[in-house]
Structure 1
């Protein structure tokens, strides 16, 4: 009977996880432009998934410590979601984090990999067969190079998805990865770079692949507790300091902003235009610049700054402190965890996917913050 209970709890979690990831993925494709009702269906599916997670939480036994922890986190999540009008962004992540008891994070990442790869292949086939096409606002570089969206709403999405696929694939495969797998990952990243011209994630992916290759060739199995604990914090500080300092318009910052395609300027403008709150605020992000509109593009790409302005300083601190705590635990004492957390931290410095579960299943590591070493070790043996 106990094994049946465990399977039911895990089934509720994984069904919810798959629904949330799949729904959020579809939301980023041009399918929602072609079928407007799909947006409403996606919201319904996310609500259903959250209900499943609530059911799992109610059915499972919990310690008093965990219940108090859950109440605090859930209250903060609800308040921030209300203030920032971001229920469908924040609450699914909160619900998943609070349901990580009896769940193995490596299995979650495997499920995510399978689902995202399958969805990317499905969209690629639809794009190839002209079932979906290019968005009207496909980006064009100043040199005239077209950045193809490939069935997504924006040209950067496909490369960002595959960057995360690369990082998590390397994390799971570790030293067991074959050279043909490494070459395949690089070639796909190169192909997407050629079509989308999304430079930063291509450089990150290539660097991660090269590091993985060196780790395999020289059988390196060291890890860094310092990087595990402080990568997120250092990256957040760098993002904040660089964006804040841009206001002084020194030649160095102007040149750096040019390299970062305006990210410092937009981050600096956010410091001028928005307050820093404890529990978030509703911000109307302008994602596109239209010559016929008075609205000015204002989206902040940095995950840390985006969370700071949109969700408030409490959420940002919870994430940074959470990853610090995870960095002290044994589950992070792994060469490939260090690699993963470093590249996720660097990527989050100027890209906005850190808290988005459809890109970053590693946000669910935060679900282990409340557990001690023995509890983490026995997560799948509780019942």
Structure 2
């Protein structure tokens, strides 16, 4: 009887969670489309109030005092510390990206990870399709540029690579959730969709990332389902598991070092800068002109978003690389925190090879794009505290198989 009551209560709380989660994610995504251009000042303020305050705070309170109330005390110290840090960054930077990312992680505590991803996928994909149709038919602004000798369409986003980045993250969700069940026709359909996105956006870097994602997941499914090569089937997940914690810090350090070392005297770095569309140049300038602080500061980023002109706007200073963008905007502590956190997630779930591949791909893509902590693009942060379902042989899974929230709670209880 008690079990039935608990299950019914769990269903009700999950329904309330998703009833708040869907409009929150919807507003986060819409606010990063050209539909937001049509908002009046009052509407813009209401959207911001709902997106950045009312809905995330409601979700966090729902989780802390209803969903996860039984082990609240053990986690409260860690969570309060993280929230205070992000609140400090928010007050200094006037940007809510980091705060919303932390709120998403806390709100997702003890909620089924795959269920969150499925709801996010449905919500985001529906909005992308609607925005694409609206932009293509002239209902909302469709920003067009003509750089690199090609016509590029933003299809309802602020810039063409924003659209291809959104598709990249949606592709990762699809591959993570469904690659094990996919047939050859599904793989071909996804590859065709990627090429179609490239045709309209001409996002070369995102094309490479998406094709790499398809290739890695296709190889993964071939290897794990192979009946001939037992050695390869065993080694493949072990290799990914051993590399798991290193992807994010290695790529973060790599782009930081290349940016700092960039010089007009180095032909190799000049060529690399050209390949990376001047990312090293503007990152290097930002170190000298913007600088870095412990908790971040307000930076007036001037980029190509919302501009159809082929000429860079006056004062252009946008840094695309996520790791550097966070470093300049939110400071050294926040940058290290988020890099270490994703490394911990990868290590903690190292037995989930599909998730490790996803994290590796995100780590690579974030050298090129600035959506690392943007929940309108990247929902994978929820895995930190969300509930995972494992088919463990024993009743007590190892640390790598437990939800991160359980490890945090246990360590706090032990005084570690």
Q: TM-score, normalised by structure 1?
A: 0.90
Cα separation, 1, equivalents of 2:313 and 2:351: 51
Out of 50, 58, 72, which is 1:52 matched to? Answer: 58
Which structure 2 residues correspond to residues 258-337 of structure 1 after superposition, within 5 A?
258-288=274-304, 295-329=314-348, 331-337=349-355
Please name the residue that 2:249 is paired with.
233
Give 1:210 shift.
Answer: 1.9
1:161 pairs with one of 159, 166, 189: 166
SS of residue paired to 2:367: helix
Matching residue of 2:358: 340
What do residues 81-138 of structure 1 show as CA deviations (whole Å, max 9, x unaligned)? 1111113x22222112123322122221111111111111111222343322423xx3
**CA distance in 2: counterparts of 1:257 and 1:163, whole angstroms:** 23
Residue 8 (structure 1) shift: 3.9
Structure 2 SS opposite 1:332: coil
Q: Are 1:10 and 2:14 matched, yes or no?
A: yes
CA distance in 2, matches of 1:337, 1:226: 13
Deviation at 1:213, TM superposition (A): 2.2
- Deviation (angstroms), 1:378: 10
Match of 2:138 among 130, 133, 136: 130
Matches within 5 A, 1:91-110: 91-110=99-118
Distance in 2 between residues matched to 1:67 and 1:247, nearest whole Å = 47
Matched residue, 2:178: 173
The Cα of 1:29 is off from its aligned counterpart by 1.6
Q: 1:247 offset after TM fit, Å?
A: 3.3
CA contact (8 A) 2:385 2:403 kept: no
Of 403, 409, 413, the match for 1:376: 403
Once the two structures are superposed, residues 37-56 of structure 1 have per-residue CA deviations (whole angstroms, 9 ceiling, x without a partner) of: 44323213212212322431
Q: In the superposition, relative to structure 1, how do residues 340 and 293 fare at CA in structure 2: closer, same or farther (>3 Å)?
A: closer
CA contact (8 A) 2:293 2:328 kept: yes
Q: In structure 2, list runs of 5 or more residues that go unmatched.
A: 227-232, 388-397, 407-416
Give 2:123's aligned residue: 115
Instruction: Give the superposed CA RMSD.
Output: 2.6
The residue number in structure 1 matching 2:367 is 349
Residue 410 of structure 2 corresponds to none
Query: What's the CA shift string for 1:163-213, capped at 9, x where partnerless?
Result: 111112111113221222111111111011011110001111111112222
1:249–1:65 CA distance, 2 compared to 1 (3 A):
farther
CA separation in 1, counterparts of 2:48 and 2:399?
A: 35
Following superposition, the deviation at residue 344 of structure 1 comes to: 0.5
Partner of 2:31: 27
| Contact map agreement 2:21 2:59 (CA 8 A) in 1 | no
Q: CA deviation at 1:25?
A: 1.2
TM, length-normalised to structure 2: 0.83
1:185 to 187, 190, 204: 190
Q: Could you list the runs of 5+ residues in structure 1 that have no partner in the other structure?
A: none
Aligned-residue offset at 1:161: 1.0
